[in-house]
Amino acid sequence: MMKWLTTIVFLWGCSFSSAQAKPFVFACEPEWQALAQEIGGDQIRAVSATHGRQDPHFIRVKPSLMSQIKRADLLICSGADLEVGWLPLLLRNGNKTIQAGQPGHVLVSDYVTNIEIPQVLDRSLGDIHPDGNPHVHLDPQVILEIASIIKERLASIDPDHEKTYAANLKKFASKWRAATTRWESAKASLAGHSVVVQHKSFSYLLKFLGIDVLASIEEKPGIPPSARHLAEIVSIIKQNPPLAIIRTPFDTKASSNWVAKKTGVRLITLPYTVGGLPETTDLFKIYDQSIELLSN
Ligand SMILES: [Zn+2]
């Protein structure tokens, strides 16, 4: 009798402790951490490998990330080679459920159509967008699509809270759709204008708003400009003055500062992601602040 009782208590203890463990989401970028948190609420824990003032193309793999990824139940990254320099190393430390091909491995670019796929790919030229533009979170439709995928994956990891995840998704999607309509209305004043970009970080947002890219200060994604390229940009700007030169909080500043000084064109730092600017505290604010900064 005693032996039976011990076994029952032991089994109950096991199931109780697993029911108590919150799904642990390891995001590569703050936007996916924020989105997971919108859907998971208090039922999950989510971390991001990078913060809003870090270039997600290039980070150093710190031991703290190595230990975090070991505990991850779900991995969410932009993909399209954005994290090619560091994610493979981290994944070697992750468990089986988050490896490529497993349900716990979500690369957003696998679910969306990347723009700017190079017509001729020559990796020797150092293009860091070989699979198209990986900065996909700046397309509001992508956020909505990935929100549903995150809900599905969380529900399969933690079926006990499926209803909570579904309710959070419903609430988020309705708020996001309303915000998208608000952002679309900004097109009226912004569409048809052009900007000069430092790196092609904002292509999806610019496409959404109908803003053209007049020139890119980088010669190719990841390739710093030559003096000749900068002189060309100055001449292009003089012929066709753009709305602004835009950059992320983590872009190198010298070249864009120089071009702005030479041409008198306004230089704007957009938040790019959650935490990019001090006031960028959630996904909605990335879009709200960017549109406000471009419209002023
Ligand atoms: Zn990039």
User: Distance between CA atoms of 73 and 88, rounded to whole angstroms?
Assistant: 17
Ligand 1 centroid distance, CA of 93 (Å): 25
Ligand 1 centroid distance, CA of 272 (Å): 11
Q: Which residue, 126, 152, 182, sits at the end of a domain? A: 182
Report the Cα 4 to chain-centroid distance in Å: 52
Is 8 inside any structural domain? no
Q: Which residue, 118, 150, 182, sits at the end of a domain? A: 182
User: Distance between CA atoms of 64 and 78, rounded to whole angstroms?
Assistant: 21
Total domains in the chain come to: 2
My answer on whether 195 and 246 are in the same domain is yes
My answer on whether 176 and 192 are in the same domain is no
My answer on whether 150 and 191 are in the same domain is no
Host domain of residue 164: 22-182
From first to last of its 296 residues, the chain has per-residue pLDDT tens of 444 444 443 443 333 344 458 999 999 999 999 999 999 999 999 999 999 999 999 999 999 999 999 999 999 999 999 999 999 999 999 999 999 999 999 999 999 999 999 887 666 667 889 999 999 999 999 999 999 999 999 999 999 999 999 999 999 999 999 999 999 999 899 999 999 999 999 999 999 999 999 999 998 888 899 999 999 999 999 999 999 999 999 999 999 999 999 999 999 999 999 999 999 999 999 999 999 999 98
Ligand 1 centroid distance, CA of 90 (Å): 20
My answer on whether 177 and 57 are in the same domain is yes
Q: Hey, which bits of 16-117 come out as E strands?
A: 24-27, 45-48, 74-77, 105-107
Ligand 1 centroid distance, CA of 85 (Å): 12
Paired tokens of 93: 């430390």
Tens digit of pLDDT for each residue in 140-171? Answer: 999 999 999 999 999 999 999 999 999 999 99
Handedness of CA 138, 275, 72, 100 (dihedral sign): positive
Neighbours of 244 (CB within 10 A): 20
My answer on whether 171 and 219 are in the same domain is no
My answer on whether 42 and 76 are in the same domain is yes
My answer on whether 178 and 44 are in the same domain is yes
pLDDT at 122: 65
My answer on whether 27 and 173 are in the same domain is yes
pLDDT at 1: 43
My answer on whether 148 and 207 are in the same domain is no
Ligand 1 centroid distance, CA of 210 (Å): 20
Ligand 1 centroid distance, CA of 24 (Å): 27
pLDDT at 156: 95
CATH code of the domain covering residue 88: 3.40.50.1980
My answer on whether 156 and 95 are in the same domain is yes
295-to-14, 72, 264, 291 alpha-carbon distances in Å: 56, 40, 18, 6
Is 9 inside any structural domain? no
Tens digit of pLDDT for each residue in 119-143? Answer: 876 666 678 899 999 999 999 999 9
Paired tokens of 57: 């193309």
Ligand 1 centroid distance, CA of 89 (Å): 20
